[in-house]
């Protein structure tokens, strides 16, 4: 059940003309509204539990009429709770806003050496950090609305230097909000999906051998066992994290 109210905003970017907008759903008629240049019309609603909510709108300015579905639950409901539409002469465009902060964790699995990591984006320099064996470095960020966010990192240990894109929005943004990288001697690997215990402890999979011509592969995590006990002469394992499948991306 969704307890969030969803919000829709339509901004007049026609370059001058006033438009009228008339939005309806199966059960609601929101009436006709006039929207001047560079102003907007907004309404909010509670979607139904069956994920079938549909609002359709008619826009009119000068001799033009545009009709379209401004909210179609199967298409839109998983994109957030606030939707911004810009109404332009050639038609409406939806701007999908991301309100989630994304988290990146890099774990030192080099087998001994400390590494330094230096991550940057176009607008942010996160500085140099030292990461000891079996510890990690973490940062979070808000991706931009154009889906072009890029963070690249340089790792150094002993006489080795590895540089790669740790977050590339077109590649990564649809994979979730938390990303775990393991830094190994032969290069970094991203676990595309990860398991969490009841205590929120991330359980990294054993990474597969990646085909030399590919940077992607599949994995299955092993179940994390919290305790073992014997009852009626039989040993029982109490699992806190079941097996899960996902994908991994590695760089060499």
pLDDT tens profile 207-231 = 333 333 333 433 333 333 333 444 4
Tokens representing 172 are 């990564």
pLDDT of residue 96: 60
pLDDT tens profile 38-88 = 999 999 999 998 999 999 999 999 999 999 999 999 988 877 788 889 999
Residue with tokens 């894109």: 165
pLDDT of residue 76: 87
Alpha-carbon distance of 188 to 49, in angstroms, equals 42
Contact (Cβ atoms closer than 8 angstroms) between residue 183 and residue 109: yes
Pick the residue with more confidence: 31 or 98? 31
pLDDT tens profile 162-197 = 888 999 998 888 777 888 999 988 777 776 544 333
pLDDT of residue 77: 85
**CATH 2.60.40 residue ranges for the chain:** 6-96
Alpha-carbon distance of 127 to 27, in angstroms, equals 54
Nearest-Å Rg of the Cα atoms of the chain is 25
pTM of the model: 0.46
Report the CATH number of the 6-96 domain: 2.60.40
Closest by alpha carbon to 240, among 221, 220, 226?
226
Contact (Cβ atoms closer than 8 angstroms) between residue 23 and residue 56: yes
């Amino acid at each position: 059940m969704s307890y969030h109210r969803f919000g829709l905003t339509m901004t007049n970017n026609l370059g001058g003309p006033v438009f009228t907008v008339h939005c309806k759903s199966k059960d609601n008629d929101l009436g006709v509204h006039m929207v001047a240049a560079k102003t907007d019309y907004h309404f909010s609603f509670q979607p139904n539990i069956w994920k079938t909510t549909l609002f359709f709108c008619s826009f009119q300015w000068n001799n033009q009429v545009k009709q379209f579905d401004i909210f179609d639950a199967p298409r839109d409901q998983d994109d957030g709770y606030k939707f911004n539409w810009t109404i332009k002469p050639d038609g409406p465009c939806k701007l999908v806003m991301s309100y989630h902060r994304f988290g990146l964790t890099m774990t030192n699995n080099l087998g001994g050496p400390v590494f330094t990591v230096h991550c940057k984006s176009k607008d942010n320099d996160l500085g140099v950090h030292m990461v000891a064996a079996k510890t990690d470095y973490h940062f979070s960020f808000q991706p931009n609305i154009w889906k072009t966010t890029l963070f690249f990192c340089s790792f150094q240990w002993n006489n080795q230097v590895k540089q790669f894109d740790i977050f590339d929005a077109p590649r990564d943004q649809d994979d979730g909000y938390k990303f775990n990288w393991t830094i190994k001697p032969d290069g970094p690997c991203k676990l595309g999906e990860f398991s969490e215990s009841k205590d929120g402890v991330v359980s990294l999979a054993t990474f597969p051998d990646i085909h030399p011509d590919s940077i992607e592969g599949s994995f299955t995590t092993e179940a994390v066992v919290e305790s073992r006990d014997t009852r009626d002469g039989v040993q029982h394992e109490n699992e806190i994290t079941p097996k899960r499948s996902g994908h991994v991306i590695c760089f060499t």
